[in-house]
Amino acid sequence: GITRHYTLEIKMQNVTRLCHTKSLVSVNGQFPGPKLIAREGDQVLIKVVNQVSNNISIHWHGIRQLRSGWADGPAYITQCPIQTGQSYVYNYTIVGQRGTLWYHAHISWLRSTVYGPLIILPKRGVPYPFAKPHKEVPMIFGEWFNADPEAIIRQATQTGGGPNVSDAYTINGLPGPLYNCSAKDTFRLRVKPGKTYLLRLINAALNDELFFSIANHTVTVVEADAIYVKPFETDTILIAPGQTTNVLLKTKSSYPSASFFMTARPYVTGQGTFDNSTVAGILEYEPPKQTKDAHSRTSIKNLQLFKPILPALNDTNFATNNISFIMPTKALLQSHYSGQSHGVYSPKFPWSPIVPFNYTGTPPNNTMVSNGTNLMVLPYNTSVELVMQDTSILGAESHPLHLHGFNFFVVGQGFGNFDPNKDPKNFNLVDPIERNTVGVPSGGWAAIRFLADNPGVWFMHCHLEVHTSWGLRMAWLVLDGDKPDQKLLPPPADLPKC
């Protein structure tokens, strides 16, 4: 690999959408931010310069950050924020990953305007596992708020009643012709007939899962969260905040000068969309030949289980295992590295819910929540199975849970109450999808496995921004291994101070 240098200047910029002009926090004066490109194996040095009055930090969503946790970005987890007038060089090497990822601000709600695509090409000379596309097109979905993000977060966290919905959804920052005063702000993709286009879809929306489709066309999914998948064809893509999906679009020869809508709309799991009274059948063909992602570092079969744990995702008080995570005022990674955790965090995370969890569809009995900054501590190379159960007291939404610093295997998903005796028998331990953000269904559960082979402090949270703010977040502390190459590297000299 080579070394690539980027500079991202965080600065205010006037932007007009929906006939409403506001001064927003931008990257290099662009909204959304510029596309960053690197190859697998490259080292990237990204200097972030803060020229606004807000504190800032940037997260490289989905980058594994092997031993480079100092460059992960979530404010107060791996670093103190970059203050006004200061800068910080995010320095990491991209190991064993290629595909579509993205970057975004990871402090307050600044990611509503500070985000952009992070494209990782395969190593030079290494082809895609599918035919080379004619053209590659990043399409990043976002939300446009006429109001200031600080006003929205205040409203959402103080009323507790949910945030005001955004004024528009956007593709590459553009709301498109279905909104008033917006026809000129439309994302247009010019295509030739009979060619294949690789669309790199990213959901950067703050609070909504989205359905994406293209009228009269199907697409073939080839990658999710920067991991190749067994290709499959579909006419609709469901993409949760934080997730990325690469699809191939084959244009037809029969549509000269025709145009079709490409749409993304929000997803709300309403009562009756799926519930326990819906009968479903499964048509089961022989599985296709497995296209194992040869670059994947961990094989599902290597995971020897350490201990299943069960954080309940309590959405009355937005907590994991009845702990509502309080953001520290010092960065956790620094506190850990310097051995000064006292008064910053507790290394005791409750293994199992304080009150046994029972999902019955009526409000469960474990709504007592306490506050704390509790880390789940893992020895190096622990194999973890994590079952995330949504208690769904408030109903409606599923939770896209994102884990920093890892990819994980999604070995099971289901509706209702997870049954530790029955459900694991149906886990897919053969060819589960691997990703960094998984949707935990409303009133249901998702089981993931990962290998804790990356020392550091790693944030895990719901990627619905309002749920993160309300406390649906936690952090893992992965300890150093014994060998020299199993240890977190020392912090860079320019690491911001709190």
Binding residues for ligand C2O, rule: CB under 6 A, are: 59, 61, 74, 104, 106, 242, 402, 404, 459, 461, 463
CB nearer to ligand C2O: give 98 or 404.
Answer: 404
Burial 251-274 (b: 16+ CB within 10 A, else e): eeeeeeeeeeebbbeebebeeeee
**Closest distance of CB 60 from ligand C2O, Å:** 9
**Closest distance of CB 111 from ligand C2O, Å:** 7
CB nearer to ligand C2O: give 61 or 98.
Answer: 61
**Closest distance of CB 58 from ligand C2O, Å:** 10
- Rounded to an integer, what is the distance from CA 398 to the centroid of its chain? 14
CB nearer to ligand C2O: give 310 or 472.
Answer: 472
**∠ CA(449), CA(454), CA(458), 5° rounding?**
80
**Closest distance of CB 77 from ligand C2O, Å:** 8
222 in Cβ contact with 248 (< 8 Å): yes
Among 96, 85, 84, which residue's Cα sits nearest to residue 54?
84
Alpha carbon distance 393, 443 (integer Å): 8
**Closest distance of CB 168 from ligand C2O, Å:** 21
CB nearer to ligand C2O: give 41 or 400.
Answer: 400
Alpha carbon distance 409, 448 (integer Å): 5
Is the bond leading into 32 cis (omega within 30 degrees of zero)?
yes
CB nearer to ligand C2O: give 185 or 209.
Answer: 209
**Closest distance of CB 187 from ligand C2O, Å:** 22
Alpha carbon distance 24, 40 (integer Å): 33
**Closest distance of CB 459 from ligand C2O, Å:** 5
Residues 6+ apart with CB under 8 A from 269: 396, 397, 398, 441, 442
CB nearer to ligand C2O: give 182 or 245.
Answer: 245
Residues 6+ apart with CB under 8 A from 194: 250, 251, 252, 253
CB nearer to ligand C2O: give 418 or 459.
Answer: 459
Residue 411: both structure tokens together: 């070995």
Closest residue to ligand C2O, judged by C-beta, is 61
Quote the strand ranges of 204-250, DSSP E.
Answer: 209-214, 219-224, 227-234, 237-239, 244-250
**Closest distance of CB 465 from ligand C2O, Å:** 9
CB nearer to ligand C2O: give 101 or 219.
Answer: 101
353 in Cβ contact with 312 (< 8 Å): yes
Residues facing residue 191 across a β-bridge: none
Q: How far apart are the first and last CA of the chain?
A: 34
**Closest distance of CB 192 from ligand C2O, Å:** 34
CB nearer to ligand C2O: give 250 or 402.
Answer: 402
Residues facing residue 169 across a β-bridge: 143
